[in-house]
Each structure stands twice: as C-alpha cells, then as structure tokens.
C-alpha cells in the first residue's frame, strides 16, 4: 500500500479518485507544528536551534498518519509545490521519524501544479527527495519573523503604551500606509483652470482644449488663476481659427499576462470587491476542486507569468473556436515577470482546462466569479492585440498665438478587448499626463478648413492629494518594492487590521493613532529594520538561500548581530517618549500660518502640548503641560484641526433643542459625550462609536449620539415599538427583546421602518427557524381577494417571498419587499398555485391520547434560514 500525504481533505478526496485502490491518501490539514508563542522558541545562542510544537488538533491526525505509515510500503509527500508546501512535508517527515513510524520505508516527494489526473499521475511517476534548500529558506524566514516579533514587540510594550506588536514585513507595510497619510496631510491644493471650446468646421461641433496661449505651450496646470483663464477665453472668442493639421495614428494595445498571486488579488479587489483573504480562500477551493472534475485552476501561489505550451495551445484553440481565426495571433505570446524577487517556480494562475467555460459551471458565487475572472484573463492573454485609430486635430490662429487640440480614438478591431480589459488604479487628479485618454468620436474634418467657435467653457479645479491605499494598490506597492511574498500579502493586511493599527474607510487604509506612533517609534529607534530597501534586500537573501547560494544560519547570524544590540540600547534608554516628542514634533505640531506657537494649548492658552503616554490606559496622546489643571487632549492627526480645540475635555456647544451644554470628555474607557440636565441625577452620556475621532467631533454628531436610542416606528405585525441605538457590541435595532445588528453607526441615525422590519425578520429567521417559532412578516398586504387568507411578504433562506395559506411565491428579481402590493402578489400566487403539487386529502381527525409522541409537531423542521449575502456590483471586463 502506498501512503500519500497532502494538506487538505478536499485535495485528498480528489487525488484519491485518480490513484485507485493501491493508494491511501490522508490530509495533514495544513501545518502540523509551529514555533510556540513564547520567548525562547528560537535560540540564537545555540546556533539558532528551533523548538517546534505540534498543534493540539494535529496531534490526533499525526497519530493516524503514523499508523498508516507503519503499514505502508511507500510514503509519498504530495504537499503544495512552494516553500510552505516543502516545509509541511519536512515537518510531517520529522514527526513521523520521531514517532518511529518510518524505518526502512522509502519516502518520496512529488509536486504538481494542478490537481488533474494527468498532472497527478505524471508527478507520481517522477518523485524526488525533499528539497532542503527550500526548507532552509522557510526556516530562515520563520526564524527572522520570530526574532523580529519577539524582540521588538516587548520593547514596544515597555516603551510605548498601546502598541500591540511589530513584525518584519508587517511594520514596513504599516509604514507605507503611514507615509501615504503624511503625504496627504502635507499636500497643499494647487489651483488650475481648464479651457475647452466647442468648434464647428463645416461639421457637427467637436470639443477641443487649449494647448497654446500667447504663443506659449500650455500644460494642464499652467493656468493658475481666473484672470489668466479669462484672458485665454477672450483670445479664443476673438480668434480666427483654421485646422492646421489632422494626424491619424494607428495604435495597438496588447493584453496583460495571466494572473500571478498578487495581480489576482489586485484585480479581484478592483472588479469583484474581494479582499485578499477572500480571494485566496476562493482560489484555494478552485485549486483543490469542488466536484468529480478535479482542480479547476493551477496552483494559486505563484509569481510566475509563464504558461506551459499545452496551456497556450489550448487557449489558442478556444479563442479560434469562440471568436474566430482573426483573434488568434500568428505566434503564441510568452511572458516574463517584471516584479522584483520573482522566483517563477510555477506557471501563472490559469484554468486547468481552458475549454471549461465559466458558463458551463455551477459554482457558489465567489468561486464562479473568480473562475470567470481567471478564465477571461488567461484567454485574453493569448489573443490578438486591439487595434485603434487615434486622431489628433490641431487648430490655430494665423499668428500662432492661440492653439486648440481635439483628440479621439476609434477601436477598429477589438482583439483581446472582446474578452477582458485590466482594471486601473485611480490617479491623482490634476497630475495626469499630457496624453489625453479621450475615446470621443470626431466628425469628418479637413485640413485648412475654417473653424468657428460655438461655445467656450472655463472651469476651476484644484489638484488633489494622492489617494489612500486600497488592498489592490497596497499589494501592488509591496510587490513593486520587493517586500514580502505574494502568498503572505493576505495575512499581512489582515494583521494590520487585527492589531487596530489601521482602519478601513470606503475600502481604503487609514492609519490609526497607535499605528502612526508605532511607525514613528520604529523609524526613530529601529530605522534600519523598517527601511524599504533593507527589507527588500533581505527577501533577495532568502531567495539566495532557496537557490543554495547562501547559508541560512549565516544570514541569521548577520541579522541578529545588528538587531540584538540595537534592542538592548533602546531598552536602556530613558525618556523615549520625550525623544519621540522632539523627533516627530514637526508632524505633531506643524507651523501655523500666522507664526504663532504651534504647541500652545488652545484650551488654557498658557500650557504647551507634548506627546504623553498612559501605561494605565495603554495609550499615547497629545496632552497639555498644565495637566491636571488643564485636561486638553487630542490624537496625532496633523491636519487643519489638529492644533485647535478639536479634542480632549472640552465644550462642544449648546444643544438648540434642549438649551443644555454638550461636552466631550476622556474617560477611563475612552472618549464620550455628555450633557447634564440640572433636574436629573445623572448626566446623559454616550461613548464615541468606533471610527469616530475626538479630534474631529462636532456638536451635531454629539447631539445625534445623545439622542440615541431613537424611535424608528411601530412594527406592522404587533404594533410594538422599534428603536435604534448604540450598544456595547455596536449599532443595533431592538424590537420586543430581539436585537439585530446594523451595518454602521450612520445607518442607526437614518434607518427607516421597512429596513428595520427586514433586519429583524432576517435575525429571527436565522435564530429561530426550525424551532417552531413564528417569524414576523416583512410586510402585511391584507386579505386575499378570493380566498380571504392573509397575504404576507416573508424573509426566506433564498430571498424574500410572498405567502398566502400554503402557497409561497418568490418575489421577481429586483423587487424590494417594501414595494410589494396586493396587485403584484395575487398573480404571483396564482401562477405558483398552478405548478404546486396537490396536497393529499388529510384523513379525518381522531382523538388521540396525550402522549409525548403526540405532542411533537408532525412537520419536519426546516433548517435555519441564513441571512442573504450582501450583493456586490459585478464589473464585466
């Protein structure tokens, strides 16, 4: 018997079907052991010996695997074909050896880039031994991450209250986010004006833009004020224009290569709205296979863009069959990666069978959408280039003092655009290139023709700061810098959020105060270890280890020889907070336009602001030197409101509705707002919800918070009130003892009765369905005009439906429950009644003794209804 060991049960199930009865396939369920989360698991003084601990859940599985190994004739390690996969095989073999489960039994290693029958059988026919150079690269990376985490983190805990942890790549990724925020805060908008004119030259009007004024070439930001714009407008208005030249230039656009791990994460973020973890979970399932067809895509952790000749040939065949010979280029396309540190150990991510079109599959939503994205990208990568005609029309006055330009382009052959076009990251407004990306169609024009001005538009604009990073753009930045590996990006971004160093707003990373302070601390005292180039160089060294060109322990010795003394020096240093206060003072207290003291306390007007630390509250903040007489505090933002009275214990103003003062205060458990009524024993208070900053809190926001809980309305079923409020676990709505979560605090202030009824019904359906409890309807339509039965709109497992008696009819797609009327419901119910199976005639009821069995409901209980997943907008390439 041959024992095959893989990571996951899904992979085991698929491979077992390919190998037959002579094989037993067992799963390790991923990594079976790791370094214990305690100091001393890596021992630099013992030549970096590492202490491993078998996971409690893996212990039972390894006992089963060991028992199978003892009776096996051959043990085959078939984990994933990357460093992590090689490491899992090594760990499994180490544990089996300790359990003495392998004596003379041969042990072999096989890898395959796709879980298909041909790939698996070919791998089994070509086994090898464990690649110890890959394992050593894994060990070096794991030791480095451990040493940084367990060396720097305790320094943070002791010197910087509120800090959670530091990580070798995590801290650098955080620095990227913080650096972008600093760019945004330092940014000063620049005014500029655009001038457009609609012209006609014996033709329909076409749009032009100013490119020359007073004989000088004009670029996008050159017209900086209204006076210059008006002068340019007047010059156009009085100008005598002639079409000087018409240039038609054929342009070709080429497709992007197939996906790597990082480009897949970027595109799934742009087009599907998936975060990196969601993308990788779906990709893992597609790789392992979801039915008897086996794996649907090749291995999804790769930075290679090349494709096997078989894959290319299959793609070209599908293109010819689907789109015709004109869409198949004369020669196949071969790609090479441009990313730093690329190993290109595996081919790009593609369907294992490109002939398996997305519309032929029936997968769960995330898998279906991701497979379609991968399929389109792969097919497009082998298609003919798109051909366009780009036309540029130059219009000038006879003296050459004023010039206008019109651009347009026409797609003459779709090529790969018939299938797919790569998404784009947003650009900084006002900083675009001079090349217009204008897809407008131009009318037929002739050189030398006179052009008449039909209309002129002058518009004022302001440049905008660079956008904050999204998951897609941050992953792209990490890849460009050569920091981290594609397989680690998802966990890095998750760690930043879990540590609350960043928060997400409209899918953008915004650094929290603690994240900014940790970054400032590390840059001040451990600058070398958060430098982009240093971290990228370390990745190169790890690649040298995997290639056998560098000793892994020599790498660790060099790294530790610098980190250990630097850590010891910071631990001995006193007044770290004061040093930070001085080092980042220009950021914390930017110069004021009037030249006044930027550190002067805006509340007491005599104290000065400094960086403070509270070990009791585990936080750091800006506070006044006159504490406790002055309790002014604020966060670390360096925007316009950072230095004013926008934070700390302060009066916000008077509530117009009550005439009472409203104050912001900092309490033991964080910031809160308060209003005191002289006739009440206790003042009314409300904590600030997550994401609200004391530094920017307004009176209007405070009054809305203090008004919670607010009445939403009476439930249409029982007339009992529904209220919306903010509780310990976040925003909610409440009805008759049932709490339902609300997506965010803003919805608490705006939620209407219909939406609240839907949320409550979904909550009750999820909680009580199958337990015999009645579910409140979403809407009561009244009595059926024919049967007299009540007609209700209900929340169901597969979406809302209308119910009358025993007839249920699904709502038409796109119909909201609150929009349902009796006029719409009656035809739906009638149509459903025609196809509903006829119920058998029930026998006459007889009196039955009251036994335990008789008390049980006759109908089988329905499974609990799940809350419908939120719909995402789908972008079709």
Q: State the number of CA atoms in the 13 A half-sphere of 480 facing the CB.
A: 8
The answer for residues whose C-beta is within 8 angstroms of residue 487's C-beta and 6 or more apart is 82, 84, 261, 301
User: Which tokens hold the place of 501?
Assistant: 């160093």
Q: Within its chain, how far is the Cα of 657 from the centroid?
A: 42
The answer for residues whose C-beta is within 8 angstroms of residue 46's C-beta and 6 or more apart is none
Q: Each residue of 407-445: b (16+ CB within 10 Å) or e?
A: bbbeeeebbbbbbbbbeeeeeeebeeeeebebeeebeeb
Active-site residue 29, yes or no?
Answer: no
Secondary structure of 609-644 as H, E, C letters: EEEEEECCCCEEEEEECCCCCCCCEECCCCCCCCCC
Please, which residues bridge with residue 154 across strands?
Answer: none
Cβ distance 596 to 183 under 8 Å? no
H helices of 342-434, in order, are 365-381
In this structure, what is the dihedral angle of CA atoms 568, 569, 574, 578, given to the nearest 10 degrees? Answer: -120
- List C-alpha distances in Å: 126 to 98, 354, 400: 27, 25, 74
Alpha-carbon gap, residue 219 to 206, rounded angstroms = 21
Alpha-carbon gap, residue 346 to 485, rounded angstroms = 14
Q: Each residue of 244-261: b (16+ CB within 10 Å) or e?
A: bebeeeeeeeebbbbbbb
Phi-psi region of 162 (alpha: psi -120 to 50; beta: other; left: phi over 0): left
Alpha-carbon gap, residue 105 to 615, rounded angstroms = 58
The answer for residues whose C-beta is within 8 angstroms of residue 783's C-beta and 6 or more apart is 789, 790, 791
Cβ distance 146 to 41 under 8 Å? yes
Cβ distance 395 to 208 under 8 Å? yes
Alpha-carbon gap, residue 789 to 822, rounded angstroms = 12
User: Which tokens hold the place of 638?
Assistant: 């360096």
In this structure, what is the dihedral angle of CA atoms 768, 769, 771, 774, given to the nearest 10 degrees? Answer: 80
The one catalytic residue in 138, 192, 287, 299 is: 299
If we measure between CA atoms, which residue out of 510, 482, 479 comes closest to residue 496? 510
- List C-alpha distances in Å: 720 to 534, 717, 723, 735: 63, 8, 10, 7
The answer for residues whose C-beta is within 8 angstroms of residue 125's C-beta and 6 or more apart is none
If we measure between CA atoms, which residue out of 153, 160, 164 comes closest to residue 521? 160
Which residues participate in catalysis according to the annotation?
299
């Amino acid at each position: 018997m041959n024992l095959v060991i893989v990571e996951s049960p899904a992979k085991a199930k698929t491979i077992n079907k390919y190998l037959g009865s002579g094989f037993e396939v067992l799963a390790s369920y991923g990594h079976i052991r790791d370094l214990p989360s305690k100091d001393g698991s890596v021992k630099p003084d013992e030549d970096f010996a590492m202490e491993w601990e078998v996971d409690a859940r893996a212990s039972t599985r390894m006992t089963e695997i060991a028992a199978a190994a003892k009776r096996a004739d051959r043990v085959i390690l078939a984990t994933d074909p990357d460093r992590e996969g090689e490491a899992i095989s090594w760990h499994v073999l180490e544990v089996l050896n300790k359990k003495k489960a392998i004596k003379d039994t041969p042990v072999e290693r096989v890898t395959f880039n796709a879980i298909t029958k041909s790939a698996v059988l070919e791998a089994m026919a070509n086994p090898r031994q464990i690649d110890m150079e890959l394992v050593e690269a894994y060990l070096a990376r794991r030791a480095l991450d451990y040493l940084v985490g367990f060396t720097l983190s305790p320094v943070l805990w002791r010197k910087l209250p509120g800090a959670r942890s530091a990580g070798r790549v995590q801290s650098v990724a955080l620095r990227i986010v913080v650096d972008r925020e600093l760019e945004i805060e330092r940014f000063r908008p620049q005014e500029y004006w655009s001038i457009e004119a609609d012209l006609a030259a014996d033709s329909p009007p076409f749009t032009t833009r100013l490119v020359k004024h007073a004989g000088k070439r004009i670029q996008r930001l050159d017209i900086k004020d209204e006076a210059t714009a008006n002068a340019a407008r007047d010059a156009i208005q009085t100008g005598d224009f002639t079409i000087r030249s018409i240039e038609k230039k054929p342009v070709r656009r080429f497709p992007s290569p197939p996906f790597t791990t990082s480009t897949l994460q970027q595109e799934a973020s742009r087009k599907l709205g998936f975060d990196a973890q969601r993308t990788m979970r779906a990709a893992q399932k597609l790789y392992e296979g979801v039915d008897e067809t086996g794996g649907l895509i090749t291995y999804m952790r790769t930075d290679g863009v090349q494709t096997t000749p078989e894959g290319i040939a299959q793609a070209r065949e599908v293109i010819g069959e689907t789109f015709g010979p004109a869409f198949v280029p004369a020669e196949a396309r071969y790609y090479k990666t441009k990313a730093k540190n690329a190993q290109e150990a595996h081919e790009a991510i593609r369907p294992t069978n490109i002939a398996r079109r997305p519309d032929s599959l029936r997968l769960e939503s995330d898998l279906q959408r991701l497979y379609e994205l991968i399929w389109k990208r792969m097919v497009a990568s082998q298609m003919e280039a798109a051909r366009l005609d780009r036309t540029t029309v130059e219009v000038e006055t006879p003296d050459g003092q004023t010039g206008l330009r019109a651009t347009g382009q026409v797609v003459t052959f779709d090529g790969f655009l018939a299938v797919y076009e790569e998404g784009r990251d947003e650009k900084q407004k006002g900083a675009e290139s001079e090349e217009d990306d204008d897809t407008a169609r131009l009318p037929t024009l002739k050189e030398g023709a006179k052009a008449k001005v039909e209309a002129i538009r002058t518009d004022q604009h302001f440049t905008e700061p660079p956008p904050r990073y999204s998951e897609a753009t941050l992953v792209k930045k990490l890849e460009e810098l050569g920091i981290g590996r594609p397989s680690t990006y998802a966990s890095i971004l998750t760690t930043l959020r879990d540590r609350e160093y960043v928060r997400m707003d409209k899918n953008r990373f915004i650094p929290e105060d603690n994240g900014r302070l940790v970054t400032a601390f590390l840059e001040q005292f451990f600058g070398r270890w958060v430098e982009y180039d240093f971290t990228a160089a370390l990745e190169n060294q790890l690649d040298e280890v995997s290639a056998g060109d560098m000793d892994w322990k020599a790498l660790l010795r060099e790294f530790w020889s610098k980190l250990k003394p630097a850590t010891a020096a910071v631990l001995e240093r006193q007044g770290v907070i004061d040093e930070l206060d001085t080092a980042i003072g220009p950021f914390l207290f930017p110069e004021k336009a009037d030249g006044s003291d930027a550190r002067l306390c805006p509340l007491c007007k005599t104290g000065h602001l400094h960086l403070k630390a509270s070990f009791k509250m585990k936080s750091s903040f800006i506070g006044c030197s006159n504490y406790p007489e002055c309790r002014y505090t604020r966060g670390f933002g360096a925007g316009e409101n950072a230095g004013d009275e926008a934070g700390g214990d302060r009066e916000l103003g008077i509530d117009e509705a009550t005439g009472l003062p409203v104050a912001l205060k900092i309490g033991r458990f964080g910031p809160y707002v308060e209003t005191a009524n002289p006739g009440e024993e206790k003042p009314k208070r409300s904590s600030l919800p997550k994401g609200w900053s004391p530094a920017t809190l307004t009176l209007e926001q405070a009054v809305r918070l203090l008004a919670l809980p607010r009445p939403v309305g009476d439930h249409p079923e029982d007339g009992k009130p529904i209220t919306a409020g903010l509780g310990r676990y976040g925003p909610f709505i409440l009805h008759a003892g049932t709490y339902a979560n609300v997506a965010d605090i803003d919805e608490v202030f705006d939620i209407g009765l219909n939406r609240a009824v839907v949320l409550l019904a979904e909550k009750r359906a999820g909680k009580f369905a199958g337990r015999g409890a009645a579910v409140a309807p979403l809407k009561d339509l009244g009595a059926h005009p024919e049967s007299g039965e009540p007609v209700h709109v209900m929340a169901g497992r597969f979406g809302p439906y209308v119910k009358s008696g025993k007839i249920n009819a699904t709502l038409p797609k796109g119909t909201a429950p609150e929009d349902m009327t009796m006029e719409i419901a009656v035809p739906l119910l009638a149509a459903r009644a025609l196809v509903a199976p006829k119920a058998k005639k029930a026998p006459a009821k007889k009196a039955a003794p009251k036994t335990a069995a008789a008390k049980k409901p006759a109908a089988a209980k329905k499974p609990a209804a799940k809350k419908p997943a939120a719909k995402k907008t789908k972008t079709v390439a």
